[in-house]
Every structure is written in structure tokens, then in C-alpha cells.
Structure 1
Amino acid sequence: MTDVIFQSSDLANKRTEVLDAAREGLARVRDKDGTSLVMLPERRLRLLEEIARWSRAHMRLDELLRRDVTLNVGDLGDLAWLRVFDADDLREFVEDLHDALIAAHSDEDTTALDECIRGWRVTARQIEDPLRRSVLMGKRAAEDFVEVSEPQ
């Protein structure tokens, strides 16, 4: 990416160059009043918005967990779906989210981030159900497990 700064008049006179620069990643256009404007591919903007959104959530939750207080739905805000997890699980979520954010930024793709969030949401829904919670989180003893024979 070069540090070319186009003038607003270039949008009419050199529109192909401006659009080519934007397609390649970024085009800067200086408006008549000196305002710097940026054009970039929409997918790149969406990536940056998603990373910013989850980075804010990550920082907020990390800060709440550092306070070592019981979190309520109001504290969690738009992360209220995490209310079913205890503090240790929430710390693990924060770590997973951190790794997914790094991967998303590095890959320039939100797939890792989307998979992380989806996995935790599915788990939260399962744990919300008391029966599933007892199956998933209940205590187990060796006698709970028996050998089964192969079906005939």
C-alpha cells in the first residue's frame, strides 16, 4: 500500500486510480476542507467492525472478572448469554475469545472468531437446561460406566 493521498477532484478525474487503490486495500481522499476520508473494500470494514466489537466485549468481561465479584445480567449486558457459566468458565471464554481475535486479525477473516462464539453459545444453551446441565456437569463415579457389547 502506498501513501498516495488523492484530492476530492480525483474522484472525477482519476476515479479508476482511486477505485484501484481502494480495491487493493485503501484509498485516502483529502476533502476540500482538509478532512481525510478513506475508501476500502466493504469486507475489510466488516472485519474491522467485528474485531472491534468483540475486542470491546473481551476487555469489558476481562475487567469485570478482575474485580472478582459475582456478575449479574446487567453487568454482562449483551453478553448476558454467558450468565450460565461460573467465573472459571468465563475466564476460559475470555482466553478463547482472545485467541480467536488474534486469529481473526491475522487471517483477515472472522471464521475463527465466529466458531469460538458459536461454540460457547451452543454450550451456554445446553447448560441452561437443568437436565443437560446435570448430565454435562454432574459428578461421575467409576460405577457409572459399564461395558457394553457390540450390537448384533
Structure 2
Amino acid sequence: MSDIIFQASDLANKRTEILERARQGLAQIRDKDSTSLVMLPERRLRMLEEIAKWSLAHMRLDDLLRRDAAPSISDLGDLAWLRVFEADDLREFVDELHAVLIAAHSDQDPSALDEFIRSWRITARQLEDPLRRSVLLGRHDPNDFVEAPMPQ
């Protein structure tokens, strides 16, 4: 937290100092009823909200995977898009999510987290299509492939 706590009355005559502290990361204001209020850049708030949301999802999914049965769509809830993955893939998702959450918090930047989720969602969409799933996960024999002649 901030080392300076402003009073609500300071908003009238110290607003420039309060705004500057908020721009730098955080300004704490004590309201008349002793409620502690905080001002911070919106991008930081959004980053903290995103990390909190995915941290909760990480804990919930990690807990689900500790059970013997595969998680149902109801169990997955808003993570139901992960239903196309097998248990090993879900465990990999959880492990990678953990690492990305740490990096995003450390960097104070959710872009790696956003890219991680986007990539996994794209893969999930591809696996939902039976033909794509068979191509992506099917067995490939080198004899199935032939060299293509150079176009004339």
C-alpha cells in the first residue's frame, strides 16, 4: 500500500498530488466514514482482475483434475471449452496456466496470459471438428506422403 494516506478533504486542494500518486501506481484515500479507497491506473485494475479470474479458474480446474473422474461440462462451467481435451492435456493446461499467471503478475502485464488463453481456445475449436481432430491426433505413416513434383 501507499505510504501516504490522503483524507477525503484532500481531494479539493491536493488533487494534483493524489492523481500523480495514482498514475505512479496507487493513491490511498480515507473517506469520512473511515472507508479506505484506492485510486490506480485502470490498466492495472484490469490486469489484477484478469489474474484473479484466471487464478480462480486455475484452482478450480486443478481441484477437478485431482478427482479420478474426468470433469463434466457442468464441473468445467465457464471453462467448458476445455471439454475436448483429455486428462493429460488438461493437466498440461493447468501447469502452463500456473506459470503464465506467475509471469503475468511479475511483469504486471496480462498479454502473455491473453495469448496463452487465445492459443488454447483456438486449439479447442480445432479439436471440436472431427476431421481436424483426426488429422491433428491421428497416426501418420511416412509412406502416406509422396514428394510433389515442381509446378511447371
Range class of TM-score, shorter chain: over 0.9
In structure 2, runs of 5+ residues without a counterpart are none
Instruction: Give the deviation of 1:123 after TM superposition.
Output: 0.4
CA distance in 1, matches of 2:56, 2:128: 25
Instruction: Give the deviation of 1:2 after TM superposition.
Output: 4.8
Which deviates more, 141-150 or 50-59?
A: 141-150
TM-score of the superposed pair, with normalisation by structure 2: 0.94
Q: Does 2:22 correspond to 1:51?
A: no
Alignment identity in percent? 73
State the match for 2:75 in structure 1.
75
CA distance in 2, matches of 1:146, 1:59: 47
Q: Does 2:99 correspond to 1:106?
A: no
Q: Does 2:144 correspond to 1:139?
A: no
TM-score of the superposed pair, with normalisation by structure 1: 0.94
The one-letter code sitting in structure 1 at the alignment partner of 2:118 is R
CA distance in 1, matches of 2:98, 2:41: 25
Instruction: Give the deviation of 1:146 after TM superposition.
Output: 2.8
Instruction: Give the deviation of 1:141 after TM superposition.
Output: 2.2
Runs of 4+ in 1 over 4 A off after TM superposition: none
Q: Does 2:17 correspond to 1:17?
A: yes
The one-letter code sitting in structure 1 at the alignment partner of 2:69 is V
CA distance in 1, matches of 2:5, 2:89: 48
Instruction: Give the deviation of 1:97 after TM superposition.
Output: 1.1
Cα deviations across residues 100-150 of structure 1 (Å, max 9, x unaligned)? Answer: 111211221111011100100000000000000000001122322333343
Q: Kindly report the root-mean-square deviation, in angstroms, between the aligned alpha carbons of the 2 structures.
A: 1.3
